[in-house]
Chain A
Amino acid sequence: MALSRALSFYRSFSTVPSQSLRVCIVGSGPAGFYTADKILKAHEGAEVDIVDRLPTPFGLVRSGVAPDHPETKVVTNQFSRVAQNGHCSFIGNVSLGSSISLAELRELYDAVVLSYGAESDQALGIPGEELAGIYAAREFVWWYNGHPDCRNLAPDLKSSDTAVIIGQGNVALDAARILLRPTTELATTDISCHALAALGESSIRKVYLVGRRGPAQAAFTAKELREVLRIKDLSIEIRQEDLSKTPADEEELKNNRIKRRIHELLSKAATPATSICSPGQKELHFVFFRKPDRFLESDCRNGYIAGLRMERTILKEDVESGKQIAVGTGLFAEMECGLVLKSVGYKSIPVDGLPFDHHKALIAVWSIIVAN
């Protein structure tokens, strides 16, 4: 392929001594840059090429960190310093598998490091998942962050006032916050223009964060939760009964400072039974102990989502892991919504030339990489 010929050509004219370590790092996110940094510091004269399929570096720091979290992106200063090293190059628009194969990289370099992340998504595996209006949270995040793959996502934010986010981690909170923050506040961030325009016309007023388990098992962390609870003119809805702790919950919280503080924050934010909401008021609902059962198709819009059916759960201890897992109770309820974001985890994409565990969606064998 043209790229490997170009790289060999370059190498034959370089003045690098033949003994120096030549490394190719595939993926220019934090893992890739920290690896490059360590290699350059540990090996005198090492040459490191960081490649990425995108024209721009930094992986999730650029495409995953929310636009209203600029301080989390400050770390790119460190990465830029690494790339300024004369022995380090960033080469964009190089896609492993299509621009160049793993076999070719292994011929050109002494070592190849795969740090290309996990760009696919866990599926729920329930009926209706293919309906329009249902997205992976990752796609929504890439859309508002201007990732080229999702610039044409065009989520419909005008046909309904209700969005449901499945999952209760920090990514779910990010998506909720971007949907609910006043757009005047978003306008001063580096949010993508197409997203800012769409959010400016959005009719979404209610966001439901739905989790299978309870507040003691929620995966988000304090800083992000605190931030979403402070959004201007936003009513927070949490049911008191969801906050009661079982002995198993107490045990889980006892040894976990993060979860204890989360539970305290949620308890403080829980609204009393009668809360007054003015029409048009924005609402964020924390829905616990509900498992999505199926998505419901609209009667008037073919192939489009209109709502979802959820099953109430209780927690039981899983004998093998000792963890509390959600078990269905056979009690169902339906709710309307026009937008669903699935924030239930990610999956790796296989690479030609490496064994892949399709069940766990992971590269199966790592030790063969540094074998040359």
Chain B
Amino acid sequence: PSRGALQLHDIWTSLVSPGHSSVESAMLRPATCVSVAAPSLPTISRLRCGTAPPLRGRRSSTTVRACMPLVQQEVTLPSTLAHREVAQALAAEAAAAVPLLPSAVPADVADFRNSAGTAVGTLDLRRGAPASSIDFMLHSSLHCKVPNGAIDITSVLIFLNALTDAPHFLMEFIQGSPTSMVVILDLLPRKDLALHPEYLHKYYEHTCLDKQREKIEELPQTRPYRSPSLFVRSACSPTAVSVTIDCGQGGEGTLEEIVCGHLASAVKEVLQIWLHSCARDTSEMEEAEREIMIKRDQAVRLKSIEVDLTANLPRMFGPDVSGHIIAEIRKAFGVQLQEA
């Protein structure tokens, strides 16, 4: 069992009730996360992973601290967190490539925080353009102060609708310390793979997705991450990247290099594969098959995403803020259900 994941679990249990499997809840929780580009955050010169070589020895967090306003006691997003940069770049690339309506999220859901100022979140939710196969894209990021530091969770989830049976796109980074993080990266299958080997072949074998997983797992700092949720394990594909990257004490620079290097490259590749093979298709389906697929999508959403939201957001952000956010997410899901 990975020490990183255990550490993360400990941190989460200090936030949520003991009866909750909090790492599990952290697993698929797009809505709890906060986007980097929130306009209300202090502007700080940001280090971009993609455009500059990773700074060695220089810690982006010290730069942030130097610039943070002293006026408020509130926590502000350390906007130069490498993994958030990677997610930001990915979300931008995806948004440019698929037909999406403009973000329809109200300002107080786009950016939210708890009253104690110890947790900050942003959420970007964009619905697919009419007649497209995109259901929605959800990009969220959460920063939460905890006794020993902070937790940062960033997710990008692109859900397709009933016009296609192609896999959904899922990426989640859960960083519990400057030296370790959990990475989930997958194309979530919409069909029972054991019953549909041709689906498996089309979207997973033919696309050589497993090579991307291998590239990440080759890194000596990685070890497998098994979600405590059996459902989440079942919902993921056989090529899912699910790892803890743990660079050990003093490994901050190494982790940043990995995030800006190997990880960013793998994430881009998987997105490209998804854009090319999944995002533009519509599929012919028998009505009965479509019904099963819709039911399956609902189960995945219900069991993984909504359970996370309703369990954890209120604890971190209080009932009002979280209620509002949850309603917004549900609206996005609900509308799609009706349209399908």
Does A associate with B in a complex?
no
- CB within 8 Å of B: which residues of A? none
- CB within 8 Å of A: which residues of B? none
